[in-house]
Amino acid sequence: MEEHFYQCPYCWEEVSILLDTSIDENSFIEDCEVCCNPLEFTVKFINRELINFEVQQFQ
């Protein structure tokens, strides 16, 4: 697992999330730790290296 920091598109707080580096491409919904709004994450790893990280409001 790898810790990654991002800015929440709802509350603009900097929040950290744990990412599973063993999954190459992953998208999932998780609530913001601060404001509890649902966020949609799209994450891509190559050789366990993070090459893409996107977070957007889930609707």
Contact residues toward Zn ion (CB under 5 A) are 8, 10-11, 32, 34-35
Nearer to Zn ion, 39 or 45 (CB): 39
Q: How far is the CB of 31 from Zn ion (least distance, A)?
A: 8
Which CB sits closer to Zn ion, 35 or 51? 35
Task: Pick the closer one to Zn ion by CB: 34 or 50.
Answer: 34
CA gap 45, 53 in Å, rounded: 9
Burial 18-48 (b: 16+ CB within 10 A, else e): ebeeeeeeeeeeeebeeeeeebebebebeee
